C-alpha cells in the first residue's frame, strides 16, 4: 500500500510540472508570433492537448518501472501457492532482482504499450478538464473542480481501458519465460480466451474509482496552484486565474496560471 501511495504523488508532481511548463512555452510561442490575443485563444485547446500528451510521454520514463514493480508484486498474491512461493519480498527486492537478471531493459518491460496508453490519454485528460472548466465558467467553486476533474478521469480512463488490460497482462508476465510475444500477440490471445468482454471488465468500478481519485487530484492541484499564485502576485503583480477569466486578459497572466485549464 505504501509503494503506490508514495509513487503516485511523485508521478502527479512530474506530470503537472511538465504539463504546466509545456503549456506556458506553447502559449508564449503563439503570443510572439500572434500579438493579437484572439489568435492565441484559437490555439488554446490544441496547446492544452499537446502539453498534456507531452507530459504523459515524459511520465512514462518514470512510470514504467513503477508500474512493472507494482504489477509483478500484485501478480504473486491471491492463491495459497502464490502466497507460499513469492519471488519478491517487496518493492526494493523486486527492483534489484529484475535489474540483476534483466538489466535496465528489464525494468522497462511494457514501456511501448505504456507509451501508447499514456500519451493520447494524458492529452485527453487535461483537454476534458479544460473544456469542463470553460463550460462551467472556471474553478471558482469546489464542486466545479470536483466535477471537471472526475469527468476528465472517467473519460481518459475509458479511452485507454483496453490498452491498460493488455499493458497489465504484459507486465505481469514472466520476464524470464514470457507467455506473450508482444502487444499484438497478447491482444489476440486475450480475445480468443475471454472474448471482447475482457477489455472492459470492471469498467463501472474502475470509472467510479477514477472519478473520485481525479476529482481529489485536481482539487489538490487547484488549491496548491492558487496558493502559489497568491504568493507570486504579492511580489510580481500577476493577476489571479479568476481575474483573468473575468477580464479576458492574456498579456499579464502568471506563467503558472496556464496549467489551471
Q: What's the pLDDT at 128?
A: 96
Q: Mean of the per-residue pLDDT values for the chain?
A: 83
Give the percent of the chain with pLDDT over 90.
52
Reported residue count of the chain is 261
Shortest CA distance to 187 belongs to which of 84, 91, 113?
Answer: 113
pLDDT (0 to 100) of residue 216: 94
How far apart CA 119 and CA 43 sit, in angstroms, is 19
pLDDT digits (tens, 9 = 90+) for 2-18: 666 678 888 999 999 99
pLDDT at position 236: 54
What is the percentage of the chain residues whose pLDDT exceeds 70? 78
Q: Provide the 10 A C-beta neighbour count for residue 77.
A: 9
Query: ∠ CA(226), CA(251), CA(223), 5° rounding?
Result: 5
Give me the residues paired with residue 239 across strands: 253
- As for how many domains the chain has, the answer is 1
pLDDT at residue number 69: 93
> Global pTM?
0.81
Q: Supply the pLDDT for residue 241.
A: 44
List of residues 6+ apart from 164 with CB closer than 8 A: 117, 157
Confidence of residue 164 (pLDDT cuts 50, 70, 90): very high
Cα(107)–Cα(99) distance, rounded to whole angstroms?
7
Whether the pLDDT of residue 238 is over 50: the answer is no
Q: How confident is the model at residue 136 (pLDDT cuts 50, 70, 90)?
A: confident
Residue 157 banded pLDDT, cuts 50, 70, 90: very high
pLDDT, average across residues 121-139 = 90
pLDDT for residue 239 is more than 50? no
Mean pLDDT for the stretch of residues 35-51: 75
Assign residue 198 the CATH number of its domain: 1.50.40.10
Identify the domain containing residue 201 by its residue range: 2-260
List Cα–Cα distances, 118 to 114, 192, 214, 218, in angstroms.
6, 26, 15, 18
pLDDT score at 103: 93
Of 53-62, 166-175, 228-237, where does mean pLDDT reach its minimum? 228-237
pLDDT tier for residue 43 given thresholds of 50, 70 and 90: confident
- DSSP letters for 47-87: HHHHHHHHHHHHHHHHHHHHHHHHHHHHHT-SSHHHHHS-S
Amino acid at each position: 500500500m505504501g509503494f503506490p501511495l508514495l509513487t503516485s504523488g511523485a508521478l502527479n508532481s512530474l506530470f503537472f510540472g511538465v504539463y504546466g511548463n509545456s503549456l506556458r512555452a506553447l502559449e508564449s510561442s503563439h503570443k510572439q508570433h500572434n500579438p493579437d490575443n484572439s489568435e492565441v485563444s484559437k490555439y488554446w485547446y490544441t496547446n492544452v492537448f499537446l502539453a498534456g500528451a507531452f507530459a504523459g510521454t515524459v511520465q512514462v520514463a518514470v512510470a514504467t518501472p513503477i508500474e512493472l514493480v507494482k504489477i509483478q508484486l500484485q501478480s504473486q498474491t491471491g492463491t495459497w501457492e502464490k502466497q507460499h512461493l513469492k519471488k519478491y519480498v517487496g518493492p526494493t527486492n523486486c527492483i534489484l532482482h529484475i535489474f540483476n537478471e534483466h538489466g535496465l531493459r528489464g525494468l522497462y518491460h511494457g514501456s511501448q504499450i505504456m507509451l501508447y496508453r499514456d500519451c493520447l490519454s494524458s492529452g485527453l485528460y487535461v483537454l476534458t478538464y479544460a473544456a469542463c472548466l470553460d463550460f462551467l465558467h472556471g474553478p471558482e467553486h469546489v464542486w466545479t473542480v470536483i466535477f471537471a476533474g472526475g469527468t476528465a478521469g472517467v473519460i481518459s480512463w475509458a479511452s485507454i481501458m483496453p490498452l491498460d488490460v493488455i499493458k497489465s497482462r504484459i507486465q505481469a508476465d514472466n520476464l524470464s519465460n514470457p507467455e506473450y510475444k508482444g502487444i499484438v500477440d497478447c491482444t489476440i490471445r486475450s480475445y480468443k480466451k475471454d472474448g471482447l468482454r475482457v477489455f472492459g471488465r470492471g469498467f463501472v468500478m474502475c470509472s467510479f474509482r477514477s472519478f473520485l481519485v481525479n476529482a481529489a487530484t485536481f482539487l489538490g492541484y487547484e488549491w496548491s496552484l492558487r496558493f502559489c499564485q497568491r504568493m507570486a502576485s504579492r511580489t510580481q503583480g500577476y493577476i489571479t486565474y479568476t481575474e483573468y477569466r473575468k477580464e479576458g486578459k492574456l498579456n499579464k497572466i502568471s506563467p503558472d496560471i496556464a496549467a489551471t485549464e
